[in-house]
Amino acid sequence: MARFCVYLGSRSGEHPDFRQAATALGTAIAEHGHTLVYGGARIGLMGELANATLDAGGEVIGVMPDHLVEREQAHFGLTELIRVPDMHARKATMAANADAFMALPGGIGTLEELFEIWTWGYLGLHEKPLGVLNVQDFYSPLLTFLDSTVSHGFLNTPTRDMLLDAATPDALLDALEARLQG
Ligand code: AMP
């Protein structure tokens, strides 16, 4: 059993596969006996994921800054909703409560959170695994770009390889579970 911190869109995206992936991931997290840690919103993919985890009997911890409670429609039906004063506290609290990290499709908030936790790992501040769910090839252009940062000499291969990717929720969960056990 582990605590999975998931970063994902406050919007749902156009393609129905995005919502379906969030729902499938929430169900899988609960069925594997894991706990979901996320940003605490009801909106977009964030809400889909939290509700699917709860519906499958899983535990969900949300972390919500006070100033976003209305704008992001804080989810008051979670196992625990942690209120924090600002965005920095949100990210630090989510990280402190997680054993591994995932990014689903999302916007610049999702990307910001993913890159911050990756850089914290690269700087030796944690050794927790992380990966992206590449549903609908959403992350393929980013993964190609990241490979080019290696070939251009701005990123080393071990750091690049810290970021896992998989096309399905089950495959990503399996890959992260394997890293947690290894
Ligand atoms: P988005 O991917 O832009 O839809 O945002 C997804 C989530 O990330 C939302 O709950 C945003 O409030 C959150 N977010 C955006 N920027 C930050 C930030 N700098 N630190 C922490 N959370 C953020």
Q: Whose CA is nearest to atom 20 of ligand 1?
A: 87
- The string of pLDDT tens digits covering residues 54-72 is 999 999 999 999 999 999 9
Q: What is the pLDDT of residue 164?
A: 98
- Average pLDDT along the chain: 98
* Strands of the sheet with 80-84, listed across from one edge: 80-84, 59-65, 35-38, 3-7, 100-103, 130-133, 163-166
Position in ligand 1 atom list of the atom nearest CA 107:
2
Whether 182 has a pLDDT exceeding 90, the answer reads no
| Statement: residue 74 has pLDDT above 90 | yes
Please give the distance of CA 9 from its chain centroid, rounded to a whole number. 10
With CA atoms as reference, report the closest residue to 105 among 27, 172, 29: 172
How far is ligand 1, taken at its centre, from the CA of residue 108, in Å?
Answer: 7
Checking if the pLDDT of 128 tops 90, the result is: yes
DSSP letters spanning 79-109 = SEEEEESSHHHHHHHHHHT-SEEEE-S--HH
pLDDT at site 23: 98
Distance 182 CA to ligand 1 centre (A): 31
- Closest C-alpha among 33, 29, 32, 81 to residue 52: 29
pLDDT in tens, 164-176: 999 999 999 999 9
pLDDT at residue 150 tops 90: yes
In terms of residues, how long is the chain?
182
Amino acid present at 2: A
Residue 165, Cβ neighbours under 10 Å: how many?
17
- Ligand 1 centre to CA of 104 (Å) is 13
Cα(68)–Cα(83) distance, rounded to whole angstroms? Answer: 10
